[in-house]
Structure 1
Amino acid sequence: MKELRHECGVAMIRLLKPLEYYQEKYGTWMYAINKLYLLMEKQHNRGQDGAGLACVKLETEPGEEYMFRERALGSNAITEIFTTVHSNFNGLSSEKLNDVAWAKKNLPFAGEIFLGHLRDNSTGRVGIEYVHPFLRRNNWRAKNLALCGNFSMTNLDEIFTRITAIGQHPRKYADAYILLEQMGHRLDREVERVFDLAEAEGHTGMAITNYIEKNIETANVLRSSCKDWDGGYVMCGLTGSGESFALRDPWGIRPAFYYMDDEIVVLASERPVIQTTLNVRAEDVKELNPGQSMLISKDGKIRFRNILKAHENKACSFERIYLSRGSDVDIYKERKRLGEMLIPSILKAIDDDLDHTVFSFIPNTAEVAFYGLLEGLDIYLNKDKARQIAALGNKPTVEQMQEILSHRIRSEKVAIKDIKLRTFIAECNSRNDLATHVYDVTYGSLVAGEDNLVIIDDSIVRGTTLKQSILSILDRLNPKKIVVVSSSPQVRYPDYYGIDMTRMDEFIAFLAAVELLKEQGKVSVIEDAYKKSKAQINKPRQEMVNYVKDIYAPFTDTEVADKIADIVKPANLHAELEIVYQPIEGLHEACPNHKGDWYFTGDYPTTGGVKLLNQAFINYVEKNFDFK
């Protein structure tokens, strides 16, 4: 019940016709600006801390600006940056505003290529200087680069060492700055390669510029830059000369979808965002393949290149469970299936007593999984009714059948989001008291003292909200038993590919396993795992092993879940408490095409993930134990 934070979202637009075309067909040359606004607003869920956009004009004259950028901080950043963009057009006469040639020559952002970015700060770095897109400027148009991405690199230290070893000097030790300098350097080399070819063919002056912009190969820049990257990423960029690109990591960890026709090319982090913005069908929106890049040249030619060899599918399953919008047709079905897969575990928890059980969900998080759970329970109950009726023989009475048919699945909206906990209340006791009023309950929705309450959420990560507010709030209904159900498996390991889950002490499942080891006199398991982790600290990341798995090895999932229930149960809770998690098999069956499950299993897709886990575990042990 922790609000997970996602790294960010991206949007890219490339117009394939002159601006006059959009003015005539759609009544405005601002067609791309308006569509970018929708793409970004529809992805607001992916970025609450900042937003930015960049634009490139094609075919400008020397001395005219051709590359523009606007950025802002805060949850209202999208509105702010587009308000600033449109402020350049306010006060203009209708005649001037509709004069495409005049607008293109005189107005900023009157261009054909756009990048948009939404930032969620999972790195701890704040300030406008960390908001994408990032710009690298140069007097040569082709050497100008705007870069943004939905990414997190696990081997940033290695990349930094590599680029500083050849004399580069990034302004900040931050992922986007380092990658900007790395890619900018490779872009410089590519431009210089084509420059030499132009001179060898006898070109001079502006003919050299035109030759470079016609023959530059962005794929070369990407190949030479990303060959040693370790992480999850979708990187998008524009050059001042009109090249644009998007590149997805070879494991397919981070998502990227695109649509193209003869008017426009659009890329975004989520499929329904493109569907809604352009009013197109789901089947018309394609997914960029792992390791693949989409390249669009200055003249609008679209090419796809396999920049990196695709690895085993490790597409992030948390995108399906929680992060992406549930309006995607496949995600909606998968979340319903996640709810349905929980039925056997729930029936066991309530001793098959459906007559005395009410089902509900935590508002705004697990509603779709809840629908899937109800549909599955209806099917289960109908089969049971058919079995009971068949058992009555050839001549059942109407009363007997009515009695059987009267049984139903009881569902209520027992929890209602009421207020938001305000950070200005700093005193601990006051905050905890206020937390117990974040949700309101629907009184009378249960038979007090008789009914079980099954409440579903999409994830239980820290368990803090359960302990401090949710359970006490639900207990006001006086249920006999509360069963809290997570539609995802136990989150046991940090994520280093874009989700804000990076420390061992953030995971209630890990803390529960540690407590079990302490209670059973098996602290040596922690010590052994620590020593083995410490011993490999200086090894290459490719040789590192995940020894944190040893912490969980002595216990079943149920034993860990029961200990979690003990930890989060408030002292004054009257109801019996049980916590049920989605089995990993249920996740894989519900989301078969998104096999990235490292936060549940510890099976990291990249060696850098194991390296960072290793350090996180060592940090935790050295802070909490004395094994020296």
Structure 2
Amino acid sequence: MSDPIKHECGIALIRLKKPLSFYEEKYGTWMYGLNKLYLLMEKQHNRGQDGAGVVGVKLNVDPGRGYFDRFRSVENNPIKDLFQHVFSTISNFTKEHPNQKIDAEWASKNIPFISEVYMGHLRYGTFGRNSVEYAHPVMRQNNWKSRNLALAGNFNLTNVDELFEKLIQLGQHPKAYTDTETVLEKVGHFLDEENERLFRIFKNERYNNKEISAKIKEQMDIQSILEKASRDWDGGYAMAGVIGHGDMFVTRDPWGIRPAHYYEDDEIVVVASERAVIQTVMNVKYDQVNEIAPGYALIVKHDGTVSHEMVRVPQKRRSCSFERIYFSRGSDADIYKERKELGRLLAPKIMQVINKNMNNTVFSYIPNTSETAFYGMVEGIREELLVWKKEKIHALADQLTEECIADIIKVEPRIEKIAIKDVKLRTFIADDASRDDMVGHVYDVTYGQVKNQEDTLVVIDDSIVRGTTLKKSIIKILDRLNPKKIVVISSAPQIRYPDCYGIDMAVMGNFIAFEATIAILKERGMEHIIEETYKKCKSQQNLPKEEVTNYVKDIYRPFNDEEISAKIAELLTPADCNAEVEIVYQSVENLHKACPNDKGDWYFTGDYPTDGGNKVVNNSFINYIEGVKKRAY
């Protein structure tokens, strides 16, 4: 993606099923679990730039010894800082015991962060400030092991105001107005209730308090806790938690908006946001990694027992297609296939745009995430060319010579690496003109491959959100090659509506498709549609989310995709650009063909999977009209 969109959060969990001595003997280290956690987090580095955190929970330690370790970082490279701290803590602890034989058994009971249960998190803060206080995992502490709770998640809830009010009704006094705080306290409340329920049962059965603690650990009903806590959550989430006595869980929203996968064998349970990450770190096959089903929770008890339990009724699957287009790792077998297909499906439209002129068209891509779609696009172009060649040969059947046949057969797409992405430039320059000049050098180009004023340059990007980098950098740099025409292809449809489930695309006025549509309305004297839409949205502002309609769709209704694309091209063409510029977008229909199992398309269609989404999009439009530049949730 050429536009700098920040990523979602990522989760990573590990439960070692064997004593640490087993891993020391088999793998040569009692830090086996911690090493795997580091790899899981590093392989998901793209999912968090704002912070990272880790929790380790020791099993079966005696009272008086620490069993819960946590560290979080919001440094520039948080994963590096996090694990430098963790490994240095371990090293320093061993140095403090020079006469101690440090084997797995001793380490598991004494050394910080040497644990059987781990939970790691990579954060991009869609809610809350970028301070260590807001980094995950977050904790709710208690002197009872079974009441200690740590949570981490890839999530965003749209109804924080409702959830906050319900906490107050429960008699709580939340210390912060964030979805993280409300989720922590909601789960914590029902964790407390479950502890109290079990305590009363075992007290009546004449167990002493020490025995009761053991019984609570054995019989705690995690499924019930999650079912009660998540009942009112509106949003997308993959929520992970660890309880002090060693129970671990990951639960997923009933629409499957946010992803979560797991692997289990007789030695280990591993959970991560992405399938390919688990495959790489654990060296396992595709079919050995499973998806946590929408509405379900993967629950690992303190004794290592694993279950997959329903905690909310699954809804129509609306897993996020933007995950597939951009955020997920392209090394995943399904993701790779889908991105190629997105490119391939654009080929007929591209051939129409260039009028099948192969001799004067150069095909390339905007690095780096659109490379896979580019391969698919080239395959599609070749398929279209094969049809063209057959038609040409049939049409000239009576006039064909060997030379003529050879000329037809050798027609192939001209493929070149034109755009080159340099190391991202970060500048301290304050004035706008100088800053824009620096932005213009984020990309460079390969010279000598485009024929001056003769060639059309076709470049594919995976998506176009704001279009800022296209206008201020990419198109300007491509224009230096002096092509006749620049065609920018987006493998995603026009992004028209904000996200409210964890991706940083939340401000209406930032979308070039929205900006273009507003411009057309004003040009054609149709401002009344803007005003009417604003009034409709405003009239619903205080209604319950279940009664809200997405009226922002009315803004786009008068125009087809081509009209909006043409205006986008006009808005993104720099004033000093010599080449003609055209923007071509993927269709929603083709998106669904390429990603048949992931039909969460609200960015493109405005069809939100939850009621809270409709409320957010209307509020986002109201903010735009009223000049309020902030997220609408």
TM-score (structure 1 length as normaliser): 0.97
1:582 equivalent among 572, 579, 586: 586
- Offset of 1:502 from its aligned partner? 0.8
Tell me how far apart the structure 2 counterparts of residues 371 and 434 of structure 1 sit (CA, whole Å).
Answer: 30
Task: Show CA shifts across 1:436-466 (max 9, x none).
Answer: 2221111111111100000110111111111
SS in 1 for 2:489: strand
User: Which residue pairs with 1:327 in the alignment?
Assistant: 331
Task: Show CA shifts across 1:357-407 (max 9, x none).
Answer: 001111112000000001111122123223323334378422111111221
User: Which residue pairs with 1:525 in the alignment?
Assistant: 529
2:256 pairs with 1:258: no
- Offset of 1:509 from its aligned partner? 0.5
Correspondence 1:363-512 to 2 at 5 A: 363-393=367-397, 396-512=400-516
- Offset of 1:174 from its aligned partner? 1.7
1:99 equivalent among 86, 100, 103: 103
2:308 pairs with 1:318: no
2:128 pairs with 1:128: no
User: Which residue pairs with 2:206 in the alignment?
Assistant: 202
User: Which residue pairs with 1:191 in the alignment?
Assistant: 195
SS in 2 for 1:483: strand
Q: Is the 8 A contact 1:219 1:307 kept in 2?
A: yes
Counterpart AA for 2:263: Y
User: Which residue pairs with 1:562 in the alignment?
Assistant: 566
2:556 pairs with 1:552: yes
- Offset of 1:137 from its aligned partner? 0.8
Task: Show CA shifts across 1:63-89 (max 9, x none).
Answer: 111111011113411122112111133
- Offset of 1:95 from its aligned partner? 8.7
2:9 pairs with 1:13: no
- Offset of 1:123 from its aligned partner? 3.1
2-11 or 91-100, larger mean C-alpha shift = 91-100
- Offset of 1:546 from its aligned partner? 0.6
Q: CA RMSD in A?
A: 1.4
Q: Is the 8 A contact 1:415 1:442 kept in 2?
A: yes
Tell me how far apart the structure 2 counterparts of residues 613 and 580 of structure 1 sit (CA, whole Å).
Answer: 25
SS in 2 for 1:90: helix
Tell me how far apart the structure 2 counterparts of residues 103 and 258 of structure 1 sit (CA, whole Å).
Answer: 27
User: Which residue pairs with 1:69 in the alignment?
Assistant: 70
SS in 1 for 2:136: coil
2:572 pairs with 1:571: no
Counterpart AA for 1:466: L
User: Which residue pairs with 2:81 in the alignment?
Assistant: 80
1:218 equivalent among 219, 222, 238: 222
Counterpart AA for 2:456: N
Tell me how far apart the structure 2 counterparts of residues 395 and 454 of structure 1 sit (CA, whole Å).
Answer: 33
Tell me how far apart the structure 1 counterparts of residues 108 and 318 of structure 2 sit (CA, whole Å).
Answer: 44
Tell me how far apart the structure 1 counterparts of residues 263 and 99 of structure 2 sit (CA, whole Å).
Answer: 33
Tell me how far apart the structure 1 counterparts of residues 145 and 108 of structure 2 sit (CA, whole Å).
Answer: 17
**Matched-pair identity in %:** 54
Counterpart AA for 1:553: R
SS in 1 for 2:464: coil
SS in 2 for 1:401: helix
Q: Is the 8 A contact 1:5 1:122 kept in 2?
A: no
Counterpart AA for 2:505: M
- Offset of 1:97 from its aligned partner? 6.6
User: Which residue pairs with 1:229 in the alignment?
Assistant: 233
Q: Is the 8 A contact 2:90 2:112 kept in 1?
A: no
67-76 or 304-313, larger mean C-alpha shift = 67-76
Correspondence 1:103-114 to 2 at 5 A: 103-114=107-118
User: Which residue pairs with 2:287 in the alignment?
Assistant: 283
Task: Show CA shifts across 1:531-588 (max 9, x none).
Answer: 1111111111101001100000000000000001111111111111110000111100
2:159 pairs with 1:155: yes
Tell me how far apart the structure 2 counterparts of residues 365 and 371 of structure 1 sit (CA, whole Å).
Answer: 12
Q: Is the 8 A contact 1:11 1:267 kept in 2?
A: yes
512-521 or 167-176, larger mean C-alpha shift = 167-176
SS in 1 for 2:326: helix
User: Which residue pairs with 2:51 in the alignment?
Assistant: 50
Q: Is the 8 A contact 1:96 1:103 kept in 2?
A: no
19-28 or 50-59, larger mean C-alpha shift = 19-28
- Offset of 1:595 from its aligned partner? 0.3
> Do the aligned partners of residues 217 and 442 (structure 1) sit closer, same or farther apart at CA in structure 2, a change above 3 Å counting?
same
Task: Show CA shifts across 1:583-613 (max 9, x none).
Answer: 1111000000100000100000000011111
> Do the aligned partners of residues 361 and 289 (structure 1) sit closer, same or farther apart at CA in structure 2, a change above 3 Å counting?
same
Q: Is the 8 A contact 2:497 2:605 kept in 1?
A: yes
Tell me how far apart the structure 2 counterparts of residues 238 and 441 of structure 1 sit (CA, whole Å).
Answer: 49
Tell me how far apart the structure 1 counterparts of residues 13 and 105 of structure 2 sit (CA, whole Å).
Answer: 24
- Offset of 1:167 from its aligned partner? 1.5
Q: Which runs of 5+ in 2 are unaligned?
A: 629-633
Q: Is the 8 A contact 2:128 2:178 kept in 1?
A: no
Q: Is the 8 A contact 2:482 2:579 kept in 1?
A: yes
Task: Show CA shifts across 1:282-326 (max 9, x none).
Answer: 111000110000111111111111100000110000000000110
Q: Is the 8 A contact 1:14 1:266 kept in 2?
A: yes
1:272 equivalent among 265, 276, 293: 276
- Offset of 1:494 from its aligned partner? 0.3
Tell me how far apart the structure 2 counterparts of residues 73 and 411 of structure 1 sit (CA, whole Å).
Answer: 42
Tell me how far apart the structure 2 counterparts of residues 137 and 597 of structure 1 sit (CA, whole Å).
Answer: 39
- Offset of 1:126 from its aligned partner? 1.2
Tell me how far apart the structure 1 counterparts of residues 627 and 74 of structure 2 sit (CA, whole Å).
Answer: 34
Tell me how far apart the structure 2 counterparts of residues 509 and 95 of structure 1 sit (CA, whole Å).
Answer: 68
Q: Is the 8 A contact 1:89 1:97 kept in 2?
A: no
Tell me how far apart the structure 1 counterparts of residues 395 and 160 of structure 2 sit (CA, whole Å).
Answer: 67
558-567 or 199-208, larger mean C-alpha shift = 199-208
1:169 equivalent among 154, 173, 177: 173
User: Which residue pairs with 1:24 in the alignment?
Assistant: 25
- Offset of 1:336 from its aligned partner? 0.4
- Offset of 1:96 from its aligned partner? 4.8
- Offset of 1:7 from its aligned partner? 2.6
SS in 2 for 1:88: helix
Tell me how far apart the structure 2 counterparts of residues 391 and 251 of structure 1 sit (CA, whole Å).
Answer: 52
Tell me how far apart the structure 2 counterparts of residues 353 and 198 of structure 1 sit (CA, whole Å).
Answer: 81
Task: Show CA shifts across 1:416-453 (max 9, x none).
Answer: 11343323011111011222222111111111110000
Q: Is the 8 A contact 2:351 2:381 kept in 1?
A: no
Q: Which runs of 5+ in 1 are unaligned?
A: none
User: Which residue pairs with 2:631 in the alignment?
Assistant: none
Tell me how far apart the structure 1 counterparts of residues 591 and 405 of structure 2 sit (CA, whole Å).
Answer: 37
TM-score (structure 2 length as normaliser): 0.97
Task: Show CA shifts across 1:137-188 (max 9, x none).
Answer: 1111000001000000000110000001221112211221221111111101
Q: Is the 8 A contact 1:274 1:285 kept in 2?
A: yes
Q: Is the 8 A contact 1:144 1:240 kept in 2?
A: yes
User: Which residue pairs with 2:147 in the alignment?
Assistant: 143
Tell me how far apart the structure 2 counterparts of residues 396 and 516 of structure 1 sit (CA, whole Å).
Answer: 51
User: Which residue pairs with 1:302 in the alignment?
Assistant: 306
Q: Is the 8 A contact 1:23 1:98 kept in 2?
A: no
SS in 2 for 1:354: coil
Runs ≥4 in structure 1, deviation > 6 angstroms? Answer: none
Q: Is the 8 A contact 1:452 1:480 kept in 2?
A: yes
> Do the aligned partners of residues 97 and 284 (structure 1) sit closer, same or farther apart at CA in structure 2, a change above 3 Å counting?
farther
393-402 or 260-269, larger mean C-alpha shift = 393-402
Q: Is the 8 A contact 1:71 1:81 kept in 2?
A: yes
